[in-house]
Amino acid sequence: MWNKLPKHQKDNYRKLITNFASLSEAFAQKADSNDKIAPIINSKFQETAFQRSFNAQVEDISNSSYDASVISEDNTKYLVGIKSFGVNSGDQKVAQFKSNSVEWTNDFDQMRRNAKGKKDKEEVDSVNNSLYLKMARTIANLRNKRILSSKAQIRGFKANNDDTEDVYHVLMPSKKGDNPKIYVGETSYSEIDINNLNILGATSVRNPENFIFSDGKHRYKYTAADSQLYMSFDNKNIIVDSWDVKYIDDAFRVFENLSDIIEKSTSVKKYESYEWPIIVQPFSGFNAFYGNTKMAKKDGYREYRICKFRDKYKNIVDNKVVFENVVNDLKIILLNSWKTTEEKFDMVKVREKLMSDVSQLKNNDLAEDVCSMVYRPTSELYIPIANSREFHNAHPDFFGKNVGTFKEGTNKLALPKEKRIFTLRLLPSGDEIKSYINQDNGKAIQSIDNQEILGEWILRKVFQLKEREPLTKQRLDELGISGLRLSKIDDRLIGLEFI
């Protein structure tokens, strides 16, 4: 990436970083005034300087694994992780799995029991190799899901997988005592290659639950006590540029004179925004597809569909007993009323049994017909608004003038559908889709058209779910997603991001 960025932008970035670093002596506590201190890099300043210099899009405003995205001179979009650490530093933290590590306690306990009494690392590695491999696969899978979810949010639903490249951009100051320099480093920001894992063993005999592994591209270290994954950046071998730093003779004078050059700050437009946790609902919201079929009941339509299905396949399938079980389960699912949550879970059990029987018949057309009768579309969903009635009462114009108003004495929205339409902008990708407020108490955000597109993006990409796999609290924890934020960007333009 670095070699594809415009020179004038890199020069401006270098100027911002080295000018900041030139003040390092103001922050240093020196025992010996003759020591050459290490240049100081402030990570937040580094990120904003990168974004300003390269017109980069900010990507770390929600739960993204990336800090910025930037377009190079050859029109490649790079998703960038930005880091800073000393050029002689060791492994760097890249992920943490606190919420997941509780499930791994038994494996860590077993590692310690296996290592008890062992004299050297080779013995520890030998007895724990299979456990290390199991844990490495689990950690890699979680790490990859987070990366893929972040990519999906940045790419949106319009981009192809090949439209972006991922990279770590690193600034590495020289060590204390050396001539002050800042080294620019770059290395791949990639998913862990689960099929190419190589266990390098425990970090020490004393801590057998901490182990190292490689995937052929990077070396990783997991530490159980803090549930953290570290990566070796191979610091001195990833250097693509270096900058000399010259310290200001009297850095404190700069701060003393700042008041003379401070100008009146310009006002910044503030977005009206609200955020709330995602409460996983088993048969609605993001799991709307998991609920009861929407097949019409009027005029005995469901009975008609079951009879038509039976007549179509009764002379085709070989296993008559299993086929009759399928027909009976269709009757149970389609002709009963499943209203309460408990009843709906009972329906799911019957549906799972039904699909198990269907798989035994080995007839694709039959399977498709059954799915069309007992399932909703696999990507059907709505984005839930928490405490929707209270929200709309407090902010009736958030989605547009009077969109959040109700017919007097009812839970029905006052405006017709065509007057409840707004543009939903997916952040941080910038993709937009026409949407509207719907359902009782205005609890749902739904897309006007292309419901499959929005559902595919959220369910398959952001939440990394397979078809007909329900969203769970565990999956949200794995991805580091706990809520969503809506921001009013303009009249009838609302931003959505997962946080």
The whole-model pTM stands at 0.74
The dihedral region occupied by 81, where left means phi > 0, alpha psi between -120 and 50, and beta the remainder, is beta
- pLDDT digit string (tens) for 87-112? 999 999 999 998 888 899 999 999 99
**One-letter amino acid of 237:** N
The residue that leads in pLDDT, 457 or 153, is: 457
Task: Report whether 427 contacts 156 (CB < 8 A).
Answer: no
Sequence-distant (≥ 6) Cβ neighbours of residue 273 within 8 angstroms:
485, 486, 487, 488, 495
**Burial class for 293, CB neighbours closer than 10 Å (0-12, 13-18, 19+):** middle
Distance CA 289, CA 282 (A): 10
Check pLDDT > 90 for residue 434: yes
Phi, psi of 494 (to 5 degrees): -120, 130
**Burial class for 363, CB neighbours closer than 10 Å (0-12, 13-18, 19+):** middle
Check pLDDT > 90 for residue 159: no
Phi, psi of 221 (to 5 degrees): -135, 130
Task: Give the model's pLDDT for residue 464.
Answer: 92
The β-bridge partners of 498 are 484
- pLDDT digit string (tens) for 15-58? 999 999 999 888 876 544 566 889 999 999 999 999 889 988 77
Dihedral of alpha carbons 45, 50, 56, 57, sign: negative
pLDDT band at residue 470 using 50, 70 and 90 as cut-offs: very high
**Burial class for 296, CB neighbours closer than 10 Å (0-12, 13-18, 19+):** exposed
> What is the tally of helices (H) and strands (E) in the chain?
13, 18
Nearest to 288 by CA among 354, 386, 384, 373: 384
Distance CA 436, CA 491 (A): 14
- DSSP-derived secondary structure letter, 471: P
Question: Average pLDDT in the 477-496 region?
Answer: 91
Distance CA 329, CA 335 (A): 10
Task: Give the model's pLDDT for residue 158.
Answer: 64
pLDDT band at residue 68 using 50, 70 and 90 as cut-offs: confident
- pLDDT digit string (tens) for 239-282? 999 999 999 888 788 777 776 666 544 555 566 899 999 999 99
Distance CA 28, CA 23 (A): 9
Task: Give the model's pLDDT for residue 265.
Answer: 47
Residue ranges of domains in the chain: 2-260, 273-286+380-498, 292-374
The total of other beta-carbon atoms located within 10 Å of residue 184's CB is 19
Q: Which residue has the tokens 């079951």?
A: 306
* Mean of all residue pLDDT scores within the chain: 90
Distance CA 351, CA 371 (A): 10
